[in-house]
C-alpha cells in the first residue's frame, strides 16, 4: 500500500503571498489531519477532515484553511503569508475505523520557507 504523499516537498514564498499544499492519504483512510512543525513549538495540530467535513480545528488564525475532497485527498491553504509561517507542514491519515486508537500515518511533509 502506498504511503501518504504530500506535494510539493519544498516551497519558497514571499510575505503576503498565499500557498496551497496537497496531501493524498493512504488508500482507504478517511481521516486526514494537518500539523505544523517548528523547532520552537514542535508539532501543532491545525485541523482534521473526515468525509469532507472539518471535524476538529486547532488554535490557528483564519488564514489557515483546508478542505477534503470526495476521494479523501486534502489541501490546506495559507493566505497572507507571514515569516512565522515558515515550517514543516505534515499531513497524516488515519483509518478511523471502529476501535481504532487514533493512530496517524504521516507523509514526508512540505517544507515552507517564507522570505
Partner 1 sequence: TQLLEQSPQFLSIQEGENLTVYCNSSSVFSSLQWYRQEPGEGPVLLVTVVTGGEVKKLKRLTFQFGDARKDSSLHITAAQPGDTGLYLCAGAQGGSQGNLIFGKGTKLSVKP
The binding site for partner 1 (CB under 8 A) comprises 4, 31, 33, 35, 41-45, 48, 50, 55-56, 58, 90, 92, 94, 96, 101-109
Q: Between 18 and 100, whose beta carbon lies closer to partner 1? A: 100
Read off φ and ψ for residue 85, nearest 5 degrees. -85, -5
Strand bridging mode 5-7 / 19-24: antiparallel
State in angstroms the smallest separation of the CB of 80 from partner 1: 25
State in angstroms the smallest separation of the CB of 16 from partner 1: 28
CA neighbor of 77 nearest in space, from 21, 25, 32, 5: 21
Q: Between 84 and 108, whose beta carbon lies closer to partner 1? A: 108
State in angstroms the smallest separation of the CB of 115 from partner 1: 20
**Contact (Cβ atoms closer than 8 angstroms) between residue 56 and residue 96:** no
CA 64 from chain centre, in angstroms, equals 10
Amino acid at each position: 500500500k502506498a504511503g501518504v504523499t504530500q506535494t510539493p516537498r519544498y516551497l519558497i514564498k514571499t510575505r503576503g503571498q498565499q500557498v496551497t499544499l496537497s496531501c493524498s492519504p493512504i488508500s482507504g483512510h478517511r481521516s486526514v489531519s494537518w500539523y505544523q512543525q517548528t523547532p520552537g513549538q514542535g508539532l501543532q495540530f491545525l485541523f482534521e477532515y473526515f468525509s469532507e467535513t472539518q471535524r476538529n480545528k486547532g488554535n490557528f488564525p483564519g488564514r489557515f484553511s483546508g478542505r477534503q475532497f470526495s476521494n479523501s485527498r486534502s489541501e490546506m491553504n495559507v493566505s497572507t503569508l507571514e515569516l512565522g509561517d515558515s515550517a514543516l507542514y505534515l499531513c497524516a491519515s488515519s483509518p478511523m475505523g471502529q476501535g481504532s486508537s487514533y493512530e496517524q500515518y504521516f507523509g514526508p511533509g512540505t517544507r515552507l520557507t517564507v522570505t
